[in-house]
């Protein structure tokens, strides 16, 4: 029965690591997943919608996300580059919260699945 349940879920649960990074150029914040550019946020447009984030994450309960970025320093928010750096920090805060929340949800779901599998073994 456990094997059947695992097959319904696509076999044994495997963790897919997704590393999210951000870069900036003169006019855009570029968001990459595992080194592949997934999203550009323009300094002129300055908007991200939920569909963009969902597609960026390639959501799956077996994904483990790591957000390998640091916010810009306060001193970098002034001057010519200040506007793009402020946009970077805004996106950083947004993605940091989303990635943390999604990882927590995924971890809880995987724990529930493990409990379910263990309870099926004891039947």
Distance (Å, rounded) from C-alpha 74 to C-alpha 85? Answer: 9
By the 8 A CB rule, do 2 and 121 touch? yes
Cα 97–101–102 angle (5° rounding)?
A: 115
Query: Which pLDDT band holds residue 110 (cuts at 50, 70, 90)?
Result: confident
Contact 28, 42 (CB under 8 A): yes
At residue 6 the predicted structure's pLDDT band, cuts being 50, 70 and 90, is very low
pLDDT > 90: percent of the chain = 55
Q: What are the residue boundaries of the structural domains of the chain, listed by start?
A: 14-121
The Cα–Cα gap between 119 and 107 comes to 18
> Rounded distance, CA 77 to CA 81, Å?
7
Over residues 94-108, the pLDDT tens digits come to 999 999 999 999 989
Q: Which backbone phi and psi does 27 adopt, to 5 degrees?
A: -125, -5
């Amino acid at each position: 029965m456990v094997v059947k349940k695992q097959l319904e879920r696509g076999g044994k649960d495997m963790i897919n690591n997704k590393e999210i990074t951000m870069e900036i150029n003169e006019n855009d914040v570029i968001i990459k997943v595992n080194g592949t550019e997934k999203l550009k946020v323009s300094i002129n447009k300055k908007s991200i919608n939920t569909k963009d984030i969902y597609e960026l994450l390639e959501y799956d309960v077996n994904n483990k996300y790591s957000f390998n970025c640091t916010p810009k320093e306060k001193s970098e928010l002034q001057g010519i580059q200040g506007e793009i750096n402020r946009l970077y920090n805004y996106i950083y805060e947004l993605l940091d919260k989303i990635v943390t929340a999604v990882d927590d949800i995924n971890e809880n779901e995987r724990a529930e699945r493990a409990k379910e599998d263990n309870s099926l073994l004891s039947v």
